[in-house]
């Protein structure tokens, strides 16, 4: 016979994705983050605060741009800012996300940028990628050639031609300092890859868009993960 107390227990509502929109005659603003982030109160509060600040800043900037356009006799084009977070991996220790940030401020075309976010669940705080490793530069160096090879393969596919290393920034392999890096989980066992994101203009002209390459974490990189985060990562088969 079923336990009537258990049967009568109310169901706990699961967090839902959060999406916010605001549109005026001067600007359009959107901000969204997934349910996994909404389920962590500290992270959700931080994202909500960042959303409110971004909206306030956009309101101020567009008011200034409108005044400047009026004072100087040229037309004002409404501005736009959109921030969309997506999860790149999660386990009991860390949640990793990346945001695509689309903006337009009246020019010939808009811009697209990216931001990484790593949330330490046990510490209830945001941590930088540098805080995950004992030496980030040394940890990433074993992945350098794999990244450059993957990027050039994508360039060949998009351009239909061979890409050689050259002084031209759109042919050279960009330094990691020009990229957005975030841990990536290809399965349910842990973070087994690092995603390297090159925004438009970093690895190719604007028309080619962004380049995203997730590279398997080798043992040499895994050895540089700090002990408190070691259980969140696994080496990946190449």
Which has more pLDDT, 2 or 111? 111
Whether residue 38 is predicted with pLDDT greater than 90 in this model: the reply is yes
Q: Which of 149, 135, 147 is nearest to 221 (CA)?
A: 135
Tell me the per-residue pLDDT of 60-80, one tens digit each, with 9 for 90 and over: 999 999 999 898 888 899 999
pTM of the model: 0.89
Q: Which residues pair with 98 in a beta bridge?
A: 86, 116
Whether residue 120 is predicted with pLDDT greater than 90 in this model: the reply is yes
- Name the average pLDDT for the chain: 92
Cα–Cα distance between 194 and 236 in angstroms, integer?
10
Going by the DSSP 8-state scheme, the letter that residue 133 receives in this structure is B
Please give the average per-residue pLDDT across 170-177, as a whole number. Answer: 94
Of 68-77, 127-136, 163-172, 193-202, where does mean pLDDT reach its minimum?
A: 163-172
* Residue 9 pLDDT level (bands cut at 50, 70, 90): low
Going by the DSSP 8-state scheme, the letter that residue 161 receives in this structure is S
Cα–Cα distance between 195 and 184 in angstroms, integer?
6
What is the structure's pLDDT at 52? Answer: 98
What is the structure's pLDDT at 139? Answer: 97
Task: Provide φ and ψ at 78, rounded to 5°.
Answer: -55, 145
Whether residue 1 is predicted with pLDDT greater than 50 in this model: the reply is no
- Domains defined for the chain, CATH in brackets: 14-127 (3.30.565.40), 130-232 (3.90.640)
Whether residue 99 is predicted with pLDDT greater than 70 in this model: the reply is yes
What is the structure's pLDDT at 192? Answer: 96
Mention every residue, 6+ apart, whose C-beta is less than 8 A from residue 151.
173, 196, 198, 203, 211, 213
Whether residue 86 is predicted with pLDDT greater than 50 in this model: the reply is yes
């Amino acid at each position: 016979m079923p336990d009537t107390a258990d049967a009568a227990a109310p169901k706990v509502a699961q967090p839902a994705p959060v999406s916010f929109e605001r549109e005026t005659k001067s600007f359009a603003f959107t901000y969204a983050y997934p349910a996994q982030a909404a389920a962590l109160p500290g992270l959700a509060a931080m994202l909500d605060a960042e959303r409110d600040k971004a909206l306030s800043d956009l309101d101020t900037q567009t008011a200034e741009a409108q005044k400047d356009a009026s004072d100087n006799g040229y037309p004002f084009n409404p501005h736009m800012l959109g921030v969309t977070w997506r999860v790149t991996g999660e386990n009991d220790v860390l949640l990793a996300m990346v945001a695509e940030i689309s903006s337009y401020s009246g020019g010939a075309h808009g811009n697209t940028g990216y931001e990484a976010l790593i949330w330490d669940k046990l510490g209830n705080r945001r941590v930088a990628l540098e805080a995950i490793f004992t030496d980030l530069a040394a940890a990433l160096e074993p992945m350098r050639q794999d990244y450059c090879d993957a990027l050039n393969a994508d360039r060949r596919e998009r351009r239909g031609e061979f890409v050689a290393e050259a002084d031209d920034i759109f042919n050279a392999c960009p330094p990691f300092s020009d990229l957005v890096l975030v841990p990536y989980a290809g399965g349910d066992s842990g973070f087994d890859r690092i995603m390297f994101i090159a925004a438009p203009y970093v690895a190719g002209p604007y028309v080619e868009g962004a380049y995203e390459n997730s590279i398997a974490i080798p043992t040499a990189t895994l050895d540089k993960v700090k002990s408190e985060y070691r259980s969140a990562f696994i080496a990946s088969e190449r």
